[in-house]
Structure 1
Amino acid sequence: MPPDTHHRGSRRGARAPHGGYVLADAQRGLEGAQAERDRLAPVLDSRVADAEQALTGARDAAIAGADRGFGARWLAMNAHTLASPGATVLRAVTVSVFVLLFLLPCLLRPTTLSDHRASASVEQERADLEAETAIAVTRAQVREQVETLWAERELASAQLAAAAQTEIEREEHRRRVDAARQAPTAVSAERIPEAAADVTTEVTLAAPAALESTPPSKRATLPMVPDVAGAAMRWVRPFVPPIIATAIETTTRPLRARGRSSRRPRRSISACGAATGSR
């Protein structure tokens, strides 16, 4: 046997009586405790039973006389939730869910009549503003076109009036030149024999006939002043204001009167020639 094993065996042999004493002492304490328990157990059991009966009676009395209203339940719930963290979290979640359910119809509600009226009012105001803007723009364009047309018409009227006045002045100048060329010459009257008178009568009768037999193309190609003035008035009148037409008509009226008076001597000369021929 090794030395260590020998020493251990000697130690165990030395401790064995001491352990037996401790075990015997513990056994005696256990037996005494069991005897004391057996002695006190009926008394303690009776006390526990009495306490349980008292607790049951107090609970029944409290339940029977307790307030079952909303306030009492609310206070009880608050006390329970404040006393328990889990109940507090559950209460917060429940309140949040019900608040969300309460606000959900407001968030998902359809468009109401008031919303339709508000949107219609906004659209109407916008349409009115756009219409007023379009009308103002159209009026400005119309005014611009009218002013342009009036300016063009006044310009055309002024041009036509100037052209007519130029033509009238030119025709007056030509008429004055023709009148100067055809001015009568002073002659002296003296008695002539009958043979010479017959020759003069034949010449006088032949002059109107020759004038009538002359083709129109060989006559004077220039129109008369009244004809030119009348044609100018007919062409200018639709394009000029009434006041300008009246002014032009007033200006050309003496010329037309002169033209009418200038035509009368020819007729008298023809009549004189016819009378002389009859003689």
Structure 2
Amino acid sequence: MLDDFFVRALIAGIGIAVMAGPLGCFVIWRRMAYFGDTMAHSALLGVALSLLLELNLMLSVFIVAAVVSVLLLFLQRRGALSTDALLGILSHSALSFGLVIVAFMTWVRIDLVGFLFGDILAVSESDIDIIWGGGILVIFAIVYLWRPLLASTVNPELAEAEGLKPERTRLFFMLLMALVIAIAMKIVGILLITSLLIIPAATARRFSTSPEVMAVLASVIGALAVTGGLFGSLHWDTPSGPSIVVAAVGLFVLSLLPIGRRPLEAAHHSTPGGHH
């Protein structure tokens, strides 16, 4: 018989995997893996500000991540620097500001390791409500935005010509990322969120015949990684968050084995429009 805290961890982890999967696919298709890191790093600044100003933690992280997203779009329009350079500047700035603010708050005891790596085994029932409530909201938003998101990923100029407003769609996508990171931070930690976004989606790419199949598979693979990682951490007494990522990496390595269809062929089919 499994303990209550373990069952809660499973339910919470699967909820995060389900909403992270489809978003992770767009992160891979748009070659925005570093953007995920930037958003995750901005979460620490959100944590620091929530403690300083006594704000709700999740709300504070979402606001900071959203501001970083809008700032990125603004700086990209200016065209002064390449996107990866801008992401590097924003990522390290947000992380450093967060750490400096935390250092100044000598009256606050802060568990940085907990925020960086999360503590999925400490999930409460109210956390589960927030995760699944937010998860359902994210999934509905992705379904609603699927066509414009996909069109602007494959060909932004064509999407613009069709009146699908790729810039606005991109902003919505970034805000969804901010929401997922705000929800997931407490559970899997700042450093592990990007892993749950990217690794299951990269694994799903090997077995997918269409973008839709890849999005669903990414959620399923993420849920398998959460389940395998948690049971592994229970069996070997290893940290739960990193164990989930190790399980995800294990599934990714298995996906590289030449079984059935060639990986390259599968990857080609599962990229929107067959582009790389």
TM-score bin (small chain): under 0.3
Normalising to structure 1: TM-score of the pair? Answer: 0.18
Higher relative contact order (CA 8 A, sep 6+): 2
Normalising to structure 2: TM-score of the pair? Answer: 0.18
